[in-house]
Amino acid sequence: MNRILFFLLLALAIYIAWRFVQRKPLPRQDDESDPLRLPMVSCATCGLHVPREEALVQDERYFCCEEHRRAMAPGPE
Ligand SMILES: [Zn+2]
Assigned domain for 30 exists: no
Neighbours of 76 (CB within 10 A): 3
Q: Name 40's bridge partners.
A: 51
Distance 23 CA to ligand 1 centre (A): 43
Structural domain boundaries enclosing 64 = 36-77
64: in domain = yes
CA 40 – ligand 1 centroid, Å:
13
How far apart are the C-alpha atoms of 48 and 21, rounded to whole Å?
Answer: 43
* Domain-embedded: residue 70: yes
In a domain, 53, yes or no: yes
On whether the pTM is more than 0.75, the answer is no
Domain count, the chain: 1
Beta strands in 12-76 (DSSP E): 40-42, 49-51, 56-58, 61-63
pLDDT tens track, the chain, 77 positions: 689 999 999 999 999 999 988 887 666 655 555 655 778 999 999 999 999 999 999 989 999 999 999 998 655 55
For residue 34, the CA-to-ligand 1 centroid distance in Å is 24
In a domain, 47, yes or no: yes
Burial pattern 44-64, b for ≥16 Cβ within 10 A else e, equals bbeeeebeeeebbeeeebbbb
